Amino acid sequence: MATEHLNRGRVHVTEAGPAAVLDAYRAQFHADFLAFLSCRAAETRARGLLLTFVARRDARPTAHDCYLWDLLADALMDMAAAGLVDEEKVHSFNAPYYAPCPDDLARVIAKEGSFALRTMQLFDTTRRRLLGPSHPTSDDDDDDEFPRWLAAETAGTVRAVVEPMLGTHFGWAAMDGLFCKYRLLLEAYYRSKSTRNNDDITNVFLVLEKKQRY
């Protein structure tokens, strides 16, 4: 009997995905971040912690919050349709990454209890701010080269992070083909009128002060 996978065809939370998938990711993040704070509290003496990592602004993920994972899932499903990877393995794979919203963070910090939240600031990062004069520019709407460059850079970054997991799960022989498809899907995303050259990723900056115990 085949296993029923709730997140079929996806590898992460999605904008319109099952609420149970988002709930499961959120619960796992809460447990992991709580354990992280507890460990840091035991080793931190004065002041506290400075943290920054990928986050999101709203409780429900938006399409842009999820596009990197959605397009990776699309690339995997294309590979499955071509018989290059096992489709059931796509349905059973869920990337172990979660971008928390401010409410997630505030809840866990309050529950763990060792730190007072002093600062929480959301900010966006983009490769466009890192470009030098030798790179194509995103300012010219007629520039045909920039979406291609942006897609290649983004695909390379994602590959560096997730390929060890994907290669183990789907087979290393499929990786070159997978990331070639992924790069093309990213390029189409960056060429689309509604999402043209939009590679912004939300991050959060936290300042946590350790509470004094008397």
Edge-to-edge, what's the strand order for the sheet holding 115-125? Answer: 48-54, 201-210, 115-125
Tell the burial category of 170 from Cβ atoms under 10 Å away from its Cβ (0-12, 13-18, 19+). buried
**CATH architecture assigned to 19-210:** 3-Layer(aba) Sandwich (3.40)
Query: Does pLDDT of 134 surpass 80?
Result: no
Query: Does pLDDT of 2 surpass 50?
Result: no
Give the mean model confidence (pLDDT) for residues 168-182: 98
At 1, is the pLDDT very low, low, confident or very high (cuts 50, 70, 90)? very low
**Sequential DSSP letters for the chain:** -PPPPTTTT-SS--TTS-HHHHHHHHHHHHHHHHHHHHHHHHH--SSEEEEEEE--SSSSPPHHHHHHHHHHHHHHHHHHHTTSS-HHHHHH---S-----HHHHHHHHHHH-SEEEEEEEEEEE-GGGG--TTS--SS-TT-SHHHHHHHHHHHHHHHHHHHHHHHHHH-GGGHHHHHHHHHHHHHHHHHSTTTTT---EEEEEEEEEEPP--
| Amino acid code (one letter) for 7 | N
Higher pLDDT, 138 or 47: 47
Predicted confidence at residue 137, as pLDDT, reads: 56
Predicted confidence at residue 148, as pLDDT, reads: 95
How does pLDDT run across 76-116, given as a tens digit for each residue?
999 999 999 999 999 999 999 999 999 999 999 999 999 99
Query: Does pLDDT of 207 surpass 50?
Result: yes
Q: Which of 157, 95, 93 is nearest to 125 (CA)?
A: 157
- Contact status, residue 118 vs residue 208, Cβ threshold 8 Å: yes
Query: Which tokens go with 2?
Result: 């085949």
Give the mean model confidence (pLDDT) for residues 190-199: 95
Query: Does pLDDT of 129 surpass 80?
Result: no
- Contact status, residue 209 vs residue 116, Cβ threshold 8 Å: yes
Query: Does pLDDT of 160 surpass 70?
Result: yes
For the chain, domain boundaries: 19-210
Predicted confidence at residue 131, as pLDDT, reads: 57
